[in-house]
Structure 1
Amino acid sequence: MGDLEIRAAVADDIPAIVGMLADDPLGAQRESPDDIAPYLTALERLDADPNQHLVVAVSDGRVIGTLQLTVIPGLSRRGATRSIIEAVRIDADERGSGLGTRLIEWAVDESRRLGCQLVQLTSDKSRTEAHRFYERLGFTPSHLGFKLQL
């Protein structure tokens, strides 16, 4: 990994991001790298919302990681603002390089800078290696999540 830059994602980054999203058994079932049109539409929505931060990690001109950080103002916890980290992905060639740690540290630092009092994330139950990774970084498995497909 050469010089690392973490920056806002742009349209030209979408193929690399979608490729990383699709590069595991779960993502392969739900992503469509051959049709980036819906992802470009989603990027427009994300860019229009100041509480959404889709970022990429770039090294030597190549996108090698990504995550989405969402800031949510709230009433609970005495009006605390929280952030949610989603869609953390590292290029297969960069896994184990420390990039995931750097991306999560960026997200935590950015959350502090944006006034958040809590950072949370979810991880599919099958991603046991990811769970160990997040726990090493200080996250605790405190909740059980539910989803309803619409």
Structure 2
Amino acid sequence: MSDQGVIVRRARTEDIPGLVASSAGLFAEDGGTRDPAINVNWPREHGAESFAAAIEDPTRLVLVVDHGGQVVGHLLGSVTGPTDKRLVSSATLISMYVLPAHRRARAGAGLMGEFLAWAKGAGAEQVEVTAYAANTDAIRFYERNGFGPQLLTLRRTL
């Protein structure tokens, strides 16, 4: 996918520093502002190792949004086969982030399109994503892409 100077493509090992930075942006902007239990330093502490493993794992998808050789966004997804508990193959969109300056370039739509095509090709019968209830922009984006509510997690701080 290419639109307004951005390209969505599979991540490569040399993209790991950009993936870590993109993930750090997600943690700072999303979880870090909505969940005090989130370790906003996780991407910088563990992201490189995690992304390296994911790039090599055939059950995971790692995409980057490339703008002039710079990683300006990412998507991480996984697929699991049917189990005794869940009777269908399922793909999970684990994380997705695009730098604010590139959000109007349809990078999110490109990431989503690639993810859905990959999930279907991997045999997934359903796809799922979680979002913070307060992240109304993300929820609207996912709803525009055909997602609807399935579960509700309620939390109480002690």
- TM-fit CA distance, 1:106: 0.9
- The partner residue of 1:30 within 9, 30, 39 is 39
The more displaced of 89-98 and 14-23 is: 14-23
- TM-fit CA distance, 1:25: 5.0
In structure 2, what is the equivalent of residue 89 of structure 1? 97
Give the % identical residues: 24
Q: What is the identity, as a one-letter code, of the residue corresponding to 2:15? A: D
Q: TM-score, normalised by structure 1?
A: 0.81
CA distance in 1, matches of 2:30, 2:109: 22
Unaligned runs of 5+ in 1: none
CA contact 1:66–1:89 (8 Å) conserved in 2 = yes
Alignment of 1:64-103 (within 5 A): 64-75=72-83, 79-103=87-111
CA distance in 2, matches of 1:68, 1:138: 19
Q: TM-score, normalised by structure 2?
A: 0.77
CA contact 2:8–2:110 (8 Å) conserved in 1 = no
CA contact 1:72–1:82 (8 Å) conserved in 2 = yes
C-alpha RMSD over aligned residues:
2.6
In structure 1, what is the equivalent of residue 62 of structure 2? 54
- TM-fit CA distance, 1:32: 2.6
Structure scoring higher RCO (CA < 8 A, sep ≥ 6) equals 2
The more displaced of 73-82 and 1-10 is: 73-82
CA distance in 1, matches of 2:24, 2:46: 14
The more displaced of 102-111 and 56-65 is: 56-65
The more displaced of 101-110 and 77-86 is: 77-86
CA contact 1:82–1:119 (8 Å) conserved in 2 = yes
